[in-house]
Amino acid sequence: MRTIVHGTCHHDCPDSCGWQVTVEDGRAVQLRGNAAHPYNQGDLCPKVTKFLDRVYSPDRVTTPLRRIGAKGEGCFVPITWDEALEEVAARFHEVIARHGPEAILPYSDAGNQSLLAMGFTERFWNRLGASRLVRAVCGPTAGAGVAMTNGGALALDPLELRHSKLILLWGTNTKLTNRHLWPTIEAARADGAQVVVIDPMRTLTAEDADWFLQPLPGTDIALMLAIMHVLVRDDLVDHAWVADHTSGYAELAAHVADWTPTRAATECGLDTADIERLAQLYGTVRPTGIRTLIGAEHHENGAMFFRTLACLPALVGDWQYRGGGLARSVGSWTSLQVDSAALEGHHLLGGHDPRWLNMSRLGRILTGDDPDAVSPPVEALFVWNCNPLVTIPNTELIRRGLQRDDLFTVVHDQFVTDTARYADIVLPATTQIEAVDVVPAWGHLWLGWNEPAVVPVGESVSNSELFRRLAGAMGFTEPELFEDDLAVLARALPSIDLEALRRDGFTRMPYPDDGRPYGDGVFPTADGRVQLLSPALGSIGQPTLPTYVRVHEGPHGPDADRFPITLLTPKTHQRFLNSGYAHLPRHGGAEGGPFLELSAGDAAGRGLVDGDLARVWNERAEAMLPVRVSRRVRDGVAAIPFGWWSAHTGNGVVANSFTNDTLTEWGGGVAYNDTLVQVEPAC
Ligand SMILES: Nc1nc2c(c(=O)[nH]1)N[C@H]1C(S)=C(S)[C@@H](COP(=O)(O)OP(=O)(O)OC[C@H]3O[C@@H](n4cnc5c(=O)[nH]c(N)nc54)[C@H](O)[C@@H]3O)O[C@H]1N2
Ligand SMILES: Nc1nc2c(c(=O)[nH]1)N[C@H]1C(S)=C(S)[C@@H](COP(=O)(O)OP(=O)(O)OC[C@H]3O[C@@H](n4cnc5c(=O)[nH]c(N)nc54)[C@H](O)[C@@H]3O)O[C@H]1N2
Ligand code: SF4
Ligand SMILES: [Mo]
């Protein structure tokens, strides 16, 4: 029998594509884009067109596993679900008896960003009273930054860029990371829009821009302040809009008086004339749509980047025009429809407020070097929806932590990932075509239904089923912990017609009909205005006006003599989704392997030519990598693609083994991109 089942991609990707799975005799035989989906219109990316490789990979974990070798060795034997659950519950009870439930750390991110997969799971942990995780490696810092200016995170729908006449793709690699937005940008361009990319790397997107500016990493705030300087100097400010809808203009205008383009040029490594030109364009072309996503938040000053960027549309009055403003994550529009307290069972905390630990500090948490995690120490780690040993900074410190004999680690995943190799127990997870869910998008405004197309492979279970089973094994009795999937979804989405969503596959979130999120000029700040001067920032000890502070581990920092190269580790491969596909033959296999991108100048200065093996090192790690002499990076900046596992580099490290786990000044994020290294020929 042949059937076609509609679903939605669960990946942590702005596109949340609709797909359809063809099933024959209970087996999925084809997965392709759903032509009826308004956003991806039938197209899928090169990773997910081969999604069935993932589903039916011979390496899928199909039963619970118990470790028999040393941690990290990767030797496991199959056990039954009953044995696995019994062991997890017994070890959890032991840890709780010794130190209390906060000694257990649940560790997850958006590996599957669907509502049940990410949200229902919290009910169990709230009931348990475990430590809570600050999930701030992707987005919250940007949101916190923008909120200091606009009062909230509601942003311009990126499809509105169709109406822009100037599009600034600022720190986002649209063609790679958000490919289904590109047709909208091309359509605007066909109507006369200019497309400018601002990125320290000459990305795929930069190659296709009308104009590309390549600042040194972590210096963009200086560029923004210089743009403001020119807007004030040349009277390009929309004074009427500013007077009606902003506060703090006079202070800001005075504050940027000495931020001349020449001063910014030195800081950013750009030409003064280019900064003048960019500022003139921005000051005169209406409407301008600024598009940004995540990359630029990964600096110490990442929150201030977004706080400052959000001031620009206000100065030129862009929010009043269709296609003007700041387009970033639109997840907040969907969040308005989700009852997260009900979904996550906040009442199960019973009034307790367990400690919060920042996910970026995992290495420090596990090695006793995070003051917040000392008492009680973390003695049990439960990982799902995440592969921290590839994706979290300062990875070698995490590895040391995971090697601790007294740490009990459980991983629920579809594969024995780098992280799972250190687990005591590995539990098998379903893929998206095996479980029902609803996917909240953050790159567009359609909520997607995901109907399971096939029964779970082997003994794998979905995240929600896993936590129902764990609740039973722990002896918990609250009915909310055992609620079935459809009942949970109904509770989580009180304003959505779930039957219609299931029938149609997607439904659009409420958004202003005229396309302008702040068309009325009212903002959710204390005074209803855009806060060019932010008292809220002052109250957390930060500068109230947009302020550029040099990052410590960067091109102008104190260590730049010893480690003169800033290392970026961005998403690079078409067939990767974070760490998710490096291990599959037609994904990772087709991308080749990791390498070091070095500018011609930096390579020549070290006697390196294309294909040579280089030694890359800093205080955190060392690796031997083949050199690619590349025009994508400028002198003083190098790059290693993110996502490869430790098995893929000769000496077993990953890109994040080098990266910085310093938190952002505020906003809770982390400074992956403030990473300095030295490079020399491998002898
Ligand atoms: N193919 C593919 N697509 C993906 C992913 C993937 O792994 N592979 N991952 C998905 C995920 S989880 C996310 S969050 C999105 C992220 O989507 P994006 O934010 O578009 O991608 P990033 O690579 O994180 O960062 C974008 C750019 O920021 C730049 N950048 C770094 N520092 C600075 C700076 O100081 N200033 C400026 N101006 N730019 C800077 C980087 O060079 C990079 O080109 O992509 C999603 N899509
Ligand atoms: N150097 C560097 N580091 C980065 C970034 C970067 O650009 N550069 N980007 C950062 C960003 S933006 C992000 S979002 C993070 C992502 O970091 P992670 O959240 O660790 O993302 P993934 O590598 O996609 O790992 C997700 C894991 O979840 C598993 N998974 C998928 N679906 C399910 C499911 O339904 N159930 C369970 N239990 N597991 C499932 C997958 O098999 C995979 O192993 O990485 C961050 N780290
Ligand atoms: S990973 Fe992104 S682009 Fe690829 S199918 Fe999923 S949502 Fe679409
Ligand atoms: Mo992300």
Count, residues in the chain? 683
Q: What pLDDT, on a 0 to 100 scale, did the predictor assign at position 651?
A: 86
| Averages of pLDDT over each 10 residues, the chain, 683 residues | 96 98 98 98 98 98 98 97 98 98 98 98 98 97 98 97 98 98 98 98 98 98 99 98 98 98 98 98 98 98 98 98 98 97 98 97 98 97 98 98 98 98 99 98 98 98 98 98 98 98 98 97 98 97 98 95 98 97 97 97 98 98 97 98 95 96 97 98 91
- Is residue 632 within 8 A of residue 597, CB to CB? The reply is yes
- E strands of 98-232, at which residues? 104-108, 132-134, 166-170, 194-198, 211-213
Half-sphere exposure of 625 (CA within 13 A, CB side): 29
Which pair of structure tokens corresponds to residue 301? 């000053």
Q: What pLDDT, on a 0 to 100 scale, did the predictor assign at position 650?
A: 81
Q: Whose CA is nearest to atom 8 of ligand 3?
A: 17
Superfamily of domain 141-328: Dimethylsulfoxide Reductase, domain 2 (3.40.228.10)
- Centroid of chain to Cα 46: 20
Q: What is the DSSP string of 589-629?
A: HHH----EEE-HHHHHHTT--TT-EEEEE-SS-EEEEEEEE
Q: What pLDDT, on a 0 to 100 scale, did the predictor assign at position 453?
A: 98
Q: What pLDDT, on a 0 to 100 scale, did the predictor assign at position 656?
A: 98
Q: Whose CA is nearest to atom 25 of ligand 1?
A: 295
Q: Tell me which residues have their CB within 5 A of the ion that is ligand 4.
A: 12, 138
**Mean pLDDT across the chain, nearest whole number?**
98
- Is residue 460 within 8 A of residue 429, CB to CB? The reply is yes
- Interval 576-586: pLDDT, tens: 999 999 999 99
CATH 3.40.228.10 segments of the chain: 141-328
Q: Where are the alpha helices (DSSP H) in 208-348?
A: 220-233, 239-245, 249-255, 261-268, 272-284, 302-309, 311-315, 331-335, 340-344
Which helix (H) or strand (E) segment is 72 a member of?
none
Q: What pLDDT, on a 0 to 100 scale, did the predictor assign at position 675?
A: 98
Q: Whose CA is nearest to atom 3 of ligand 1?
A: 177
Query: How far is the centre of ligand 4, averaged over its atoms, from the C-alpha of 63 (Å)?
Result: 29
Find out if CATH 2.40.40.20 is the number for domain 565-681: yes
Query: Does any ligand 1 atom lie closer than 6 A to the CB of residue 673?
Result: yes
- Interval 329-386: pLDDT, tens: 999 999 999 999 999 999 999 999 999 999 999 999 999 999 999 999 999 999 999 9
Q: Whose CA is nearest to atom 13 of ligand 1?
A: 13
CATH 3.40.50.740 segments of the chain: 65-137+334-446+454-496
Q: Which CATH number fits domain 65-137+334-446+454-496: 3.40.190.10, 3.40.50.300, 3.40.50.740, 2.10.60.10?
A: 3.40.50.740
- Is residue 671 within 8 A of residue 660, CB to CB? The reply is yes
Distance (Å, whole) CA 14 – CA 50 = 19
Query: Does any ligand 2 atom lie closer than 6 A to the CB of residue 583?
Result: no
Output the CA–CA distances (angstroms, integers) from residue 101 to 98, 129, 329, 378, 472, in the order listed. 9, 6, 34, 10, 17
Query: How far is the centre of ligand 2, averaged over its atoms, from the C-alpha of 390 (Å)?
Result: 8
CATH 2.40.40.20 segments of the chain: 565-681
